[in-house]
Structure 1
């Protein structure tokens, strides 16, 4: 497991990047729906900073009710001792997907809370998604 403390300063910034919610009109007589949840992590290095974007999508198969996605990002600053070659030698998306990073835990729990708030706003029980990364698309 990668030691993130070796690469990054302690301070970091996080922000909500995007929220997208859309109702889906369904004229089908289908009564069985599967709710799907998928997560993705994208990373980008710029000026000794690593931006990590976590995105969670919630949708139904067959398409019905709503489509929802929430993206949060956090930015880490590389330590002065880390050279450019070291910065680029790691697949950061994979490293964060496979770790239990506290940075990632923070924004995933916020994502889960936001999804719960949004889905409860139309008078039903809130949909509470797991506060951890879903490596493979899952049925909920």
Structure 2
């Protein structure tokens, strides 16, 4: 783990919407009860002096009916010059680092994803599905 992980990056962050996928699934009339699942994943890559982080949230029901929604947001973070030589960035599991110490950037992304889930699910005339704006912790 890198102590003071947020201090490895310059303050400017470049956020972008990466992808949205919505698939409507026919409802089986027999099903009475559904379980809503949020599946989160992080993917981080190092390109020269920058880290590109993609956060993906999939919202789906068990049994697999009604819809499946996947939203991906990304952020580009520039590594500070002095930190570029301090760590071997290609050998670090950055997805785990962000999972454990990345609230400085994940809070913003997860708030955006939560908002989009609510907007998209409410666009069908139903109450919006509000999901928590935080990454689910690994068990």
Structure 2: which 5+ runs fail to align?
none
By relative contact order (CA 8 Å, sep 6+), the higher-ranking structure is 1
Cα pair distance change 1:18/1:33, threshold 3 Å: same
| Large movers: runs of 4+ above 3 Å | none
Superposition pairs of residues 33-52 of structure 1, within 5 angstroms? 33-52=34-53
Which has the larger displacement, 23-32 or 68-77?
A: 23-32
Aligned residues: 137
* Structure 1 residue 84, shift from structure 2 partner: 7.8
Q: 1:86 aligns with which of 71, 88, 104?
A: 88
The 8 Å contact of residues 61 and 68 in structure 2, kept in 1 or not, is answered as yes
The corresponding residue for 1:54 is 55
TM-score, normalised via structure 1 length: 0.89
The structural deviation recorded for 1:83 is 1.8
1:100 Cα deviation (Å)? 4.8
Give the deviation of 1:14 after TM superposition: 0.6
Q: Distance in 2 between matches of 1:102 and 1:40?
A: 17
Instruction: State the shift of 1:85 in Å.
Output: 4.7
Q: Indicate the residue corresponding to 1:73 in structure 2.
A: 74
Give deviations 1:51-87, integer Å, cap 9, x for gaps.
0000000001111100001000001011111228532
- Larger helix proportion, structure 1 or 2? 2
Cα RMSD of the aligned pairs, angstroms, is: 1.8
Measured against aligned partners, the alpha-carbon deviations of 1:75-132 in whole angstroms (never above 9, x if no partner) come to 1011111228532342110011112522111010000000000000011110000011
Q: Which stretch shifts more, 103-112 or 79-88?
A: 79-88
Unaligned runs of 5+ in 1: none
d(CA) in 2 for partners of 1:132 and 1:120? 20
Relative to the length of structure 2, the TM-score reads 0.90
Distance 1:7 1:136 in 2: 24
